[in-house]
Amino acid sequence: MIKNRIGVIGSINTDIVCETDKLPKIGETVMGNKFLISFGGKGANEAVACARLGASTNLLGCVGDDMFSKNAIANLQQEGVHITAVKQLKGKQGGIANITVHNGNNQIVVISGANALVDENYINKYANRIKECSIVGCQFETPIEALVLASDICVKNGIKFVLNPSPIKKYPKKLFNNASYVIVNEVEIQEVEGYNPQKPFEILEKHANKLILTKGKSGAYYHNGQKLVNVPAINVKVLDTTGAGDTFLGSFMVAINNNFSLFDAVTFANICAGLKTTKLGAQTAMPTLNEVKKYVKKNRINLQINF
């Protein structure tokens, strides 16, 4: 194990982003305001979020040999992400996400491409890249069966495992049980066994200090074993929420890996995710450690960042 190395298992995509004041109806064409092609995919996003905060980060995933894939690999290298476990597949296309941004919110269509080939054989081949890490995070833009295997490797080797079940789908209870932390939004929490829509916070008490609920402008919630805790979001002008959840997960892992308390880790993640929303794009808008430290100092937030 390499001290304080973070692992991320997940998708590597290219984001095609259009910003518009009006969403088109079926069959309608509207004029937009801005267009950009940027690098995305939940796995790559989280890895870049970690790397920008100064963390040594292994990314595990698959790409094709098309133009988008080659550019995505070059970008990951430029961001300082370790890509020895990123497998390039001949004759395959990389994943893409078609993103429409409207009034600060987004609508996304994802085409998996090579991401669908991050399977159990792949995990077995690159198991040593997982074992190098002290904490590993994942989401659901790659096959779930492979994530179960990866979570088993983490449990057997004393590695913290962080689960973000997004985009939400049915998943084995074992994956939840293997996780050290599970980060969900208001939709994803509904798939947690025992969730009661009449008492939505009750499930947090059942999984105290493990299950974390993010609620955008309302901040994040978890139960500390004694009471429900709300960690407020920062007050910023939101331009684009694309990648905010990925920034939260990546920065949360960085904080936990630096021995932050759960409250401070969620506070740190809220700040990072909030700063990301002030800019357009996913990875391009993710904050550096220096930007986070400046925000903390300027706003006199009680958070000691000693890394």
**209-223 pLDDT tens trace:** 999 999 999 999 999
The reply to whether 246 belongs to the active site is yes
* Token representation of residue 41: 């995919």
What pTM, to 2 d.p., does this model score?
Answer: 0.91
Give kind and range of the element (H or E) at residue 51: helix 42-52
| Domain presence at residue 279 | yes
| Domain presence at residue 1 | no
pLDDT number for residue 280: 83
For the beta carbon of residue 220, count every other beta carbon within 10 angstroms. Answer: 23
For the beta carbon of residue 88, count every other beta carbon within 10 angstroms. Answer: 15
Q: State the residue range of the domain holding 215.
A: 6-23+32-298
pLDDT lower than 70: segments of the chain: none
| Domain presence at residue 307 | no
CATH of the domain at 290: 3.40.1190.20
Contacts of 62 (CB under 8 A, 6+ apart): 12, 86, 87, 88, 89, 92, 114, 115, 117, 118, 122
| Domain presence at residue 305 | no
Active-site entry in 15, 240, 246, 264: 246
| Domain presence at residue 291 | yes
pLDDT number for residue 32: 96
| Domain presence at residue 166 | yes
pLDDT number for residue 1: 72
Q: Is 278 exposed, middle or buried (0-12, 13-18, 19+ CB in 10 A)?
A: middle
**Crossing angle (nearest 10°) for helices 42-52 and 244-257:** 50
CA 192/CA 163 separation, integer angstroms: 12
Number of domains into which the chain is organized: 1
| Domain presence at residue 304 | no
CA 118/CA 304 separation, integer angstroms: 37
pLDDT number for residue 99: 86
| Domain presence at residue 214 | yes
Q: Given the structure tokens 């198991």, which residue do they identify?
A: 127
